């Protein structure tokens, strides 16, 4: 018997990262912006996606893959608004690429989604600020939601998540008058970890900030497909009442 040392020097997730990178460039080639939406449980991911679908009202071709430990409740909320498939993780605390790939197949076979023509694919991750941070889901944009009731000190407490997120969306801003939460303090804490993070504020409930959020997504998609910025003038396409973008009461 003798021993032999094999050098590897590679991330344990390298194979999944490679698959994610491949998928990311496939989507980029099709002009689909993939958005990974992460937050703690209940920060408002599904509500924001509902508000997004309402605001676009069919003008943008979007689909959602939503991760959940056990139920299809979020998918049921989104189903009247856009094509959606549930990814049931069976207890796992985060989504991984193989599950996403199966979900994509089902979007095509069950929902009749034409992936070639899709403009936005949202992946609602499992509510968790820890594990999803480590898993690349082929996204072009990672968005972390932080709701006003969670406290403005959270970015520094979950460094990996806030380091890897391209945008921070403060949600439930209708509650700001009632809770001790400073949007500026949260933004500053996030920028310490990720200096170029984009910060947005929304209330899916009242619709406040939803148009700006949707405009940001469209801007990011234009960067992806390399198209020139469109002139203003989409104003008239928008619903006249901003509350239309909000949640059902």
Partner 1 sequence: MHETSLVAALLRQVARLAREHRAAAVEEIRVEMGPLSGVERPLIELAFAELADGTVCRGARLRVEEVPLEAVCCDCGARFEIQRFRFRCRRCDSPRLEVLRGDAFRLVDVVLRTHDVADSGCGAVPRAEERSGWSVGGRRSGCDDGIVRRGRSERDAERRS
String of contacts with ligand GTP for each residue 91-130, x by CB under 6 A: ------------------------------------x---
Does residue 150 belong to the site contacting ligand GTP (CB under 6 A)?
Answer: no
Distance of closest approach, residue 9 Cβ to partner 1, in angstroms: 4
Distance of closest approach, residue 64 Cβ to partner 1, in angstroms: 19
Q: Find where tokens 């992460």 sit.
A: 38
Q: State the CB neighbour count (10 A cutoff) for residue 42.
A: 14
String of contacts with partner 1 for each residue 90-109, x by CB under 8 A: --xxx-x-------------
Does residue 221 belong to the site contacting partner 1 (CB under 8 A)?
Answer: no
Q: How far apart are CA 210 and CA 200, in angstroms?
A: 9
- Binding to partner 1 in span 66-95, by CB under 8 A: 92-94
Which residues 6+ apart lie within 8 Å of 233 measured at CB?
Answer: none
Give me the torsion for CA of 197, 198, 204, 205, rounded to 10°.
Answer: 80
Distance of closest approach, residue 44 Cβ to ligand GTP, in angstroms: 4
Contacting range for partner 1; rule: CB under 8 A; set: 2-10, 58-66, 103-111, 240-248: 2-10
Q: How far apart are CA 212 and CA 230, in angstroms?
A: 15
- Helical axes 97-109 vs 14-30, angle rounded to 10°: 30
Q: How far apart are CA 198 and CA 13, in angstroms?
A: 27
The residue ranges that bind ligand GTP (CB under 6 A) are: 39, 41-47, 74, 127, 171-172, 174-175, 203-205
The residue ranges that bind Mg ion (CB under 5 A) are: 45-46, 74
């Amino acid at each position: 018997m003798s021993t032999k040392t094999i050098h590897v020097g590679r991330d344990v997730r390298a194979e999944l990262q490679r698959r994610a990178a491949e998928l990311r460039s496939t989507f980029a080639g099709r002009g689909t912006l993939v958005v990974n939406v992460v937050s703690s449980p209940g920060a408002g991911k599904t509500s924001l996606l509902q508000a997004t679908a309402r605001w676009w009202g069919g003008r943008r071709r979007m689909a959602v893959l939503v991760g959940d430990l056990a139920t299809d409740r979020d998918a049921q909320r989104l189903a009247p608004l856009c094509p959606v498939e549930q990814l049931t993780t069976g207890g796992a605390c985060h989504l991984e690429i193989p599950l996403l790939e199966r979900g994509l197949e089902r979007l095509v076979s069950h929902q009749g989604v034409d992936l070639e023509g899709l403009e936005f694919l949202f992946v609602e991750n499992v509510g968790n600020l820890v594990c999803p941070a480590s898993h690349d889901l082929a996204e072009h944009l990672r968005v972390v939601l932080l709701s006003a009731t969670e406290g403005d000190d959270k970015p520094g407490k979950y460094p990996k998540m806030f380091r890897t997120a391209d945008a921070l969306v403060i949600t439930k801003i209708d509650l700001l008058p009632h809770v001790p939460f400073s949007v500026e303090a949260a933004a500053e804490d996030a920028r310490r970890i990720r200096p170029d993070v984009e910060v947005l504020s929304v209330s899916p409930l009242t619709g406040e900030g939803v148009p700006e959020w949707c405009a940001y997504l469209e801007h990011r998609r234009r960067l992806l497909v390399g198209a020139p910025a469109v002139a203003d003038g989409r104003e008239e396409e928008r619903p006249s009442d901003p509350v239309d973008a909000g949640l059902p009461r």
